[in-house]
Structure 1
Amino acid sequence: MAERSGPAPPGTESAPPPPAWWRKTDNTASTSGAIPWLAAPLYAIPETTKLLMCGGVAGAFSKTCTAPLARITILRQLQSTGAVAGWAGTAKVGIVPALAKIIKEEGVRALWKGNMVTVIQRLPYSSINFYLYENIMDFLEGEGAFGRDRNEGVDKGGGRAGGKSGKTRERAGRDGQRGLGWDVARRLVAGGSAGMIACACTYPLDLVRTRLAAQTTVRHYDGLLHALFVIGSKEGPKGLYRGLSPTLAQIGPNLAINFAAYETLSKLAKEHELGERVPPAIVSLACGSTSAVVSATATYPLDLVRRRLQMRCAQDRGHGFVRVFRDVFAAEGLRGFYRGIIPEYAKVVPGVSITYMTYELLKRSIGVDTGRL
């Protein structure tokens, strides 16, 4: 059948013509949700690269939106340790008063103190995390070699082999045969493994971000490079990985629960066709918020311990994970492990929701089809 013609999308006049699956025909719709003027210039880029781009941008954008709340969480977690100077070291104030105090004493920009390091860390972290998650899921689902370029799924006739609906139906059939238990277990393994690998690759930046965010009226570091130099020279290369073990112990189950809960809820939403009655963005926000609360509550004590370990200097010998865990319990009891959980909820619920929503929106906008997230 004759293809529908029209003017070239703005900014794509010099780009090579997109494949047939971008151009609507009488019986073939373009990839659902794709924005032609945005997707057409990127169609030749391997889908692996597109996934890395979507994950990195989603993570960096989310962290920037929630940076003020993240800083309050860190200050709360480090109270009573002597690592924080001024009011933040002792004062027990609510979220709004804490924001007001930071603005009054340090200025508005201080709400985003350490955020540039966070963005620099989140771009590779989220890229690696989402990319590995997608590929580990494919590997566990038996869809070929790990790291296979998904562009191989585009057939010679220009159509995506089976399309998104075909891929989703195929996965749904396998999941139905294996049962919900296997489905959740696979997501736990993929989410936990991807998160731990991504964390290990970018950990020094996370440590620097914690120390920069903990600075109030007393400054020890003047920025990312200065902090890396000071920590490396005073504490040695191992100092840049201080607290890595509890971080991996926290990030693994956190992301395992997060991914598994989010995808399970998303799958249930699709089965009940919620997307037909409620805007997809709202469904994504609801699933992301619920998964964030569940994962944060389950792993917050480990997050508190890792933050305190990150603030230890090289002279603090013998202050490992077990020692810090025991000290917190002895001095503050069980409630001490959840110090700062309220601003954490206020940060993580919108943060995770924004991440997932942005990731899905970007994938749809540039025509990435994984049949999953």
Structure 2
Amino acid sequence: MALIVREEGVKGLWKGNWPAEYLYLTYGAVQFLVYHEWQKSTTGLLPETPRSFIGGAISGCVATFATYPLDLLRTRFAMQGASRIYTSLYGACREIHQTEGIPGFYRGVWPSILQIAPYMGIMFAVQGKLSETFERIENPYWNHAWDHFTSGGVAGMLSKTAVMPFDVVRKRLQVQGPSRKSYILSDIPRYNGGFFACARQIAVHEGLGALYKGLWPGLVKTAPSSAITFWVVGECRRMFGAYNERTPLRQSG
């Protein structure tokens, strides 16, 4: 962080922020919509933990594919140095479309799908199980308002650690293309082939540990993010549920 501030200024800590904001808003909305619709439609068909895992995997895949271009734009904006390749979201979209075509917006999408399915499956399964456990606690020192917050944070850390290699490969593939040598890290290798070829190249030339580069910063980000997300969603569902009970829909006519 200190290096980023020294070399790029405080603004460097927020590079790629707007694409990231659009990404999180749309991704979260699609993901939780698909997940809760899955939960409603499969009640009683499967044991709870496998049902949560499958629902999390499906919702994560759908949301990832729907919002992937925003994820790619976020990564590319974050990788820019002093010589900016993209100056605006519109300019970035136009440049990618002209030089790489529609497939350029989906570079690395399959590693992302491979990553997100187990990632969200583990997260929702662990969060659901932990939340049930916390809800059963009968202790005057335990505040049940934090059930979703605590379970979400723990689930986020476990799932992030489990799929970190997929995340590393995904980001390496996202910054391929014609502008590969123009980013702040100009020595980004060229990876031939897809996910497995890229993972093998990283492991051979940098060691297996390279597949976990950035794990600690990732956990520092993921733990509070997951905790807050599940807490906010849980509280919103509780409030909307209470509101609907107080104001039932009026019968027409």
With the length of structure 2 as denominator, give the TM-score of the two structures: 0.86
Q: Which residue of 2 aligns with 1:335?
A: 209
Unaligned runs of 5+ in 2: 181-189, 245-253
Aligned equivalents of 1:233, 1:369: Cα separation in 2: 49
Distance 1:342 1:261 in 2: 20
The DSSP-based 3-state class of the residue aligned with 2:207 is helix
- CA 369–295 in structure 1, closer or farther in 2 if over 3 Å, else same: farther
Separation of aligned partners in 1, 2:154 and 2:243: 25
Is residue 212–residue 223 contact of structure 1 (8 Å, CA) maintained in 2?
no
- 1:294 corresponds, among 158, 163, 170, to 158
* Percent identical: 34
| 1:136 paired residue number | 38
**Match for residue 231 of structure 1?**
96
The residue identity in structure 2 corresponding to 1:347 is K
**1:263–1:368 CA distance, 2 compared to 1 (3 A):** farther
Query: Is 1:112 the equivalent of 2:14?
Result: yes
d(CA) in 1 for partners of 2:93, 2:172 = 18
Post-superposition shift, 1:368? 6.1
Residue of 27, 34, 51 corresponding to 1:186: 51
Deviation at 1:317, TM superposition (A): 7.7
2:184 corresponds to: none
Per the alignment, residue 247 of structure 1 pairs with 112
CA offset at residue 294 of structure 1?
Answer: 1.0
C-alpha distance in 1 between matches for 2:22 and 2:144: 30
Looking at structure 1, the residues matched to 52 and 243 of structure 2 have their Cα atoms a distance apart, in angstroms, of 18
Shift in Å, 1:183: 1.4
Choose between structure 1 and 2 for higher RCO, CA contacts under 8 A separated by at least 6 residues.
1
Contact 1:363–1:369 at 8 Å: present in 2 too?
A: no
Q: Report the alpha carbon displacement of residue 225 of structure 1 after superposing the two structures with TM.
A: 1.4
Q: How far apart are the structure 1 equivalents of 2:137 and 2:129?
A: 12
SS of equivalent to 1:337: helix
Q: Which ranges of structure 1 fall in alignment gaps of 5 or more residues?
A: 1-98, 143-173
Paired residues of 2:30 and 2:63 also in contact (CA < 8 A): yes
Q: Which of 63, 74, 97 lines up with 1:209 in the alignment? A: 74
1:1-373 → structure 2 map (5 Å cutoff) = 99-141=1-43, 182-273=47-138, 277-313=141-177, 318-367=192-241
Q: Which amino acid counterpart does residue 3 of structure 2 have in structure 1?
A: K
Contact 1:243 1:310 in 2 (8 A): yes
**Which TM-score applies when normalising by structure 1?**
0.59
Distance 1:222 1:368, change over 3 A: farther
Where 1:313 maps in the other structure, the secondary structure is coil
Counterpart amino acid of 2:210?
A: G
Q: Computing the radius of gyration over CA atoms, which structure comes out larger, 1 or 2?
A: 1
Q: Distance in 2 between matches of 1:317 and 1:309?
A: 7
Amino acid of the structure 2 residue aligned with 1:304: V
- Deviation, 1:283, is 2.7
